[in-house]
Copies of this chain bind each other. A is one copy, B any other.
Amino acid sequence: MPYYIGDVIKDQKYLVARTPEEFRKGGIEVSVNTRVVKMDAGGRVVQLSDGKELPYDYLVFATGSKAQHLGIAGEDLEGVFTLKTLADTLRIKAYLAGRSCRKAVIVGGGFIGLEMSEAFSALGLETTILDVVERPVMRWDPEFSKTVLEELNRHDVSFSGGTRTRAIEKGTDFPLRVVTDQGELEADVVLMSVGIKPEVELARAFDLRLGKTGAIEVNSYQQTSKEGIYAVGDCCEVYHRVSKRWVYLPLGDVANKQGRLAGRNIGGDPMSFPGVVGAQSFKIFSLEVAAAGLGEKDASDAGYQPVSAIIWGTSIAKIMPGAKKLGIKLVADKTTGQLLGAQSIGENGAVSRINALSVALWSGMNIDDIANLDLAYSPFFSGPWDVIHIAAQVLKK
């Protein structure tokens, strides 16, 4: 079955269907199943795989990213998937629906791997996550990774850290066998979630300059190294306001902002993209996990002198029914007191705290101000001293 325009599927009620015809009604021509095969940046023309030539005033690269592969044997076996597009999801669903499955193996303990462990569990599959590193979600402090690990185990998801996957083979008791340096596991389905990388094949072929991260280099107006050519989304870099570096941060909200910015600039209402602070969140079973800014290592790399503090408090006033444990970590510069990073984890309120701290990171706020921030206190929503205040006070000491 063919999919059109970002894999938008008509029969999925939660998606707005957009066929090429619908775009055409809006005056937008969409060519599906068509590749750009040649580009003349000087003459501002691209040549398409169907032989047509398309002249342009402005060209936008929105080629996105693609799932990484380990390059091991068996990644192409039936029942081995990556998850990048909606089409991938439907393929996984169709595969699972077609047979009685009991076991899943996930290679890679990042966001996608963790979120899929919850999805597989919900389907009743005994699920194991394998990762070469020692713990899930390495961006977060080991203390918070431990909390994620406990949450996984509480839901019967196994995590096997320090485990390198060597190959995937046909299995004996199950369709597939995953061979690792720590032994073998059999399973009905294997998800490879070892990260994504920018899709820059076309950009490279057409000599657009790439940044150190391997993604397309852009300036704050989303312009690439060639005049009239813009890039947005997962295929390009983005400016990090705290590290003051161009980084690769392929996130949906960032892509949305870049697309809008490029549109404004092309449309003659210029605006520069102010950058990001690396705010991120995900949910795993009952846990909210969120972060923004830099961890100690990235902060050191960026020339700061990071100091940090972790505290555990409660999501709402601790005297209230429904108060949940909430962890928060702050990283600041020892010399200036500037907030450099924040992480939070808990059943409730972690994302809320990180959003407030993202604004503080955006503004370059220091720890003294954060220790006294005016937040909307009510016992239903926090203690009179919120975990944000307490963490800042502890770090100050």
| Interface assignment of A265: CB less than 8 Å from any CB of chain B | no
B372 contacts A273, C-beta separation under 8 Å: yes
Q: Mark A339-379, 1 if CB is under 8 A from B, else 0.
A: 00000000000011111111110110100110011111110
| Copy count, this protein chain | 2
Picked from B15, B254, B288, B368, the residue with its CB within 8 Å of the CB of A271 is B368
A353 to B256, CA, bound (A): 20
A175 vs chain B, min Cβ distance (A): 32
A346 vs chain B, min Cβ distance (A): 13
B279 contacts A381, C-beta separation under 8 Å: no
Picked from B274, B281, B362, B375, the residue with its CB within 8 Å of the CB of A378 is B281
B274 contacts A369, C-beta separation under 8 Å: yes
Q: How large is the interface on A (under 10, 10 to 19, 20 to 34, 35 or more residues)?
A: 35 or more
| Interface assignment of A35: CB less than 8 Å from any CB of chain B | no
B14 contacts A376, C-beta separation under 8 Å: no
A365 to B365, CA, bound (A): 12
B358 contacts A360, C-beta separation under 8 Å: no
Q: Mark A40-76, 1 if CB is under 8 A from B, else 0.
A: 0000000000000000000000000000000000000
B256 contacts A376, C-beta separation under 8 Å: no
Picked from B14, B257, B280, B378, the residue with its CB within 8 Å of the CB of A319 is B14
A292 contacts B376, C-beta separation under 8 Å: yes
Give the residues in chain B near A358, CB-CB below 8 Å. 356, 373-376
| Interface assignment of A252: CB less than 8 Å from any CB of chain B | yes
Task: From A273, A290, A381, name the one whose CB has the most chain B CB atoms within 10 angstroms.
Answer: A381
Picked from B278, B354, B376, the residue with its CB within 8 Å of the CB of A291 is B376
B362 contacts A253, C-beta separation under 8 Å: no
| Interface assignment of A282: CB less than 8 Å from any CB of chain B | yes
A377 contacts B319, C-beta separation under 8 Å: no
A386 vs chain B, min Cβ distance (A): 8
B377 contacts A279, C-beta separation under 8 Å: yes
Q: Which of A203-259 contact B (CB under 8 A)?
A: 241, 251-254, 256-257
A112 vs chain B, min Cβ distance (A): 12
Give the residues in chain B near A271, CB-CB below 8 Å. 368
A354 contacts B368, C-beta separation under 8 Å: no
Picked from B256, B363, B373, B384, the residue with its CB within 8 Å of the CB of A384 is B256
A278 to B374, CA, bound (A): 7
A15 to B317, CA, bound (A): 12
| Interface assignment of A95: CB less than 8 Å from any CB of chain B | no
> Which B-chain residue is minimally distant from A276 (CB atoms)?
B374
13 A-B interface contacts by CB (under 8 A): A15-B319, A253-B385, A279-B374, A280-B376, A281-B381, A283-B381, A351-B352, A351-B376, A352-B355, A356-B359, A357-B359, A359-B359, A363-B365
